[in-house]
Chain A
Amino acid sequence: MQFLSNHWWKLLGVMILYYVVIYGFLMEVPALSILNETIRNLFFHVALWFAMFILLIVSVIYSIKYLKSSSMKADVKASEFATVGIVFGLLGVATGAVWAKFTWGDWWVNDPKLNATTIALLIYLAYFVLRASIEDEYQKGRISAVYNIFAFAAAIPLIFILPRLTDSLHPGSGGNPGFSAYDLDNNLRKVFYPAIVGWTLLGVWFASLRIRTKSIQMIVDEHHSNE
């Protein structure tokens, strides 16, 4: 029982993702113009984005915690959640490129939302470059935490500004069927919302595994340096 009460969420995440993959591919979907069957990508592309944002917000929260407490644990958590968030971001780009190829005819288009994503990825890649270039553990933690928070605050306007400046091919603008058009269909919603939860839980699982290996590594290193 101990096992179940500690790990139920991992099981839940996997079950949800089974449901998303199986039911998402087999269910009836509304035949919308342009999108057609590719609308099933909603459960992967869009849901992965949402999961990425949740993971990155968690990372920022741990950065704030680190500044308050200076505990190495918070720093490890912040960096690992950011890593997994970036992996999800790259997966989101990959699934988005496939979707773009089938609906817009090209793997990559000059679209404000795509550009915003690229910038967000650049910001986080810079975060890892910054971490790599500082040796002292505590200094690394503090400086990268400051950058993480500063970048997050500066990147928020990005999401609101870029799409307003130019016309987007993304759903909801430029003559494409909007999000409300999917929302009318309750069947899609039944898979989409669980998909967000499923991907987020999977991400948390990934991150927790990486955090555990890092923590063990830190203890081992400490033993070695004490000997």
Chain B
Amino acid sequence: MTQEIWNLVKKEILIEWRMKYAISGMMLYLLSSIFLGYITFSLGRVQVSATTWNVLFWMIMLFVATNSIAKSFIQESKERLLYYYTITNPQSIIISKILFNCLLMLFLVFGGFLIYIALLGNPVDDIGLFCLTLILGSIGFSTSFTMISSIASKASNSGTLMAVLGFPLIIPMLLLLIKISKNAIDGLDRSASLDEITTLSAIIIIAISTSILLFPYLWRSN
């Protein structure tokens, strides 16, 4: 099973490497949306407050996550899915998709963070804690959105559904992320964020385990 998951992740990375769809497209998406934020703020000559900085960052990340993870199931061709049915089991598929999306999001979130601080400045006091938030955010977004993507891919208007189904579900996670990263920006003592980090990890564990439990019912239905 571990070998199987590893092979599937390797296959995803290989496909990504050859097509460079998500990486290049999403990097450009990131760059243009961050630049949009930069240019609109500088036009109004507004001093960006730490709260605005923080919320804007996570909003951009949320949209990047929806768009890049949507492709993980929606863009799979029917023939390839049929091929998967014959060679592997559903748990390996969903776990490998989550792992790959996690890697992709880590890359995009850290890349986005670098572009973001280059353009909009860096008010973060506790970089270590902020990086932890970025990692937790990548894992959280990728787990929830992978499952949503597989649900949305079965319906006819999957693009809209991805946002409609995913956004309400992601709100608790997003609120916790914003709260922890605000603590990191303000440089609060790390023990102050411990409660939120635990809750966030618990949500992620719930999302992963329900995905693994429910995906077998979903994957053959088309």
Contact = CB atoms under 8 A, between A and B. Distances in A.
Chain A bound to chain B: yes
Interface of A: 67, 119, 122-123, 126, 129-130, 133-135, 138-139, 142-143, 145-147, 149-151, 153-158, 160-162, 165
Interface stretch (B33-41, B48-56, B77-85, B161-169): B161-169
B32 interface: no
A139 B154 contact: yes
Contact of B214 (A123, A138, A150, A157): A150
Contacts of A135: 156
17 contacts: A126-B165, A133-B156, A133-B157, A134-B154, A135-B156, A138-B221, A143-B154, A147-B165, A150-B147, A150-B211, A154-B206, A154-B210, A156-B206, A157-B199, A158-B171, A162-B172, A165-B179
A120 to B, nearest CB: 8
A158 B172 contact: yes
Nearest to A160: B199
B26 to A, nearest CB: 24
> 10 closest A-B pairs (Cβ-Cβ)?
A122-B168, A133-B155, A123-B168, A153-B210, A154-B169, A126-B164, A146-B214, A158-B172, A126-B165, A119-B168
B155 A157 contact: no
**Interface of chain B, main secondary structure:** helix
**Interface of chain A, main secondary structure:** helix
A146 B154 CA distance: 12
Interface of B: 144, 147, 151, 154-157, 161, 164-165, 167-169, 171-172, 175-176, 179, 199, 202-203, 206-207, 210-211, 214, 217-218, 221-222
Nearest to B147: A150
A146 B213 CA distance: 10
B151 A149 contact: no
A143 B175 CA distance: 28
A153 B165 contact: no
Contacts of B167: 122
A135 B144 CA distance: 25
Contacts of B207: 153-154
Contacts of B206: 153-154, 156-157
